[in-house]
């Protein structure tokens, strides 16, 4: 995908997708002049096939599908180094959030399912318990990702240190959380929110 010839025309450039990213992130991709400062400071650059500046470049060319097909967006650590240092105030961290959301909504063809899975479980935890329940998060993650032995030695140690709780109590006002989730879903269904 990365090296495929790129045909540019009004039809092949998905401007609608880019506009969505800009609306979600509140940041213009056109402002970027490709200085590369974001990629220079990104702690995760070496793990990505498209470094941050190239993500923006692909968006400038309306190539959202190329971005989502890669795993780069899932390797962003949200450290905001890029946003902080950008000379053009391109909020790349927010653009990454927007891209992840669009990929998430589309259940997109990402190669990087582990991070997606972890995020999904994290949010499920919130919906179910109101707060994080780290033991459950870790256990279910390992189960679902098929890495049964991952951090095998770490778990019991943390439990003994009191860092992982075996049991978890729900918030008394847990109903309100469900309400938030439902109303957000409702707004999206009605097209009132992105």
Interface with another protein (CB under 8 A), residue from 14, 22, 40, 60? 60
Beta-carbon contacts of 116 under 8 Å, excluding residues fewer than 6 positions away, are: 74, 104, 110
Residue with tokens 């450039």: 13
95 binds another protein (CB under 8 A): no
65 binds another protein (CB under 8 A): no
State CA 111 to chain mean position distance.
Answer: 13
159 binds another protein (CB under 8 A): no
Residue 84 beta carbon to another protein: minimum distance, rounded to whole angstroms: 5
Based on CB atoms, which residue is closest to another protein, 109 or 193? 193
Exposed/middle/buried for residue 14 (C-beta within 10 Å: 0-12, 13-18, 19+): middle
Under rule CB under 8 A, which residues in 10-49 are in contact with another protein? 10, 13, 24, 26, 28, 30-31, 33-34, 43-44, 46-47
- The tokens describing 14, both together, are 């998905």
176 binds another protein (CB under 8 A): yes
């Amino acid at each position: 995908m990365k090296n495929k010839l790129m045909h540019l025309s009004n039809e092949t450039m998905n401007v609608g997708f880019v506009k969505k990213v800009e609306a979600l992130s509140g940041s213009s991709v056109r402002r970027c002049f490709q200085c590369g400062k974001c990629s220079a400071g990104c702690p995760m650059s070496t793990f990505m096939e498209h470094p941050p500046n190239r993500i923006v470049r692909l968006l400038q060319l309306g190539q959202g599908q190329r971005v989502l097909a890669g795993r780069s967006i899932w390797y962003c650590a949200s450290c905001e180094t890029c946003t902080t240092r950008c000379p053009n105030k391109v909020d790349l961290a927010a653009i990454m959030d927007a891209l992840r959301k669009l990929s998430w909504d589309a259940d997109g063809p990402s190669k990087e399912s582990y991070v997606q899975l972890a995020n999904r479980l994290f949010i499920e935890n919130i919906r179910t318990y109101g707060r994080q329940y780290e033991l459950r998060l870790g256990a279910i993650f390992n189960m679902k990702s098929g890495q049964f032995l991952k951090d095998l030695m770490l778990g019991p140690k943390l439990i003994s240190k009191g860092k992982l709780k075996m049991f978890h109590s729900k918030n008394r006002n847990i109903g309100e959380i469900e309400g938030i989730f439902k109303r957000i879903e409702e707004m999206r269904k009605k097209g009132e929110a992105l």
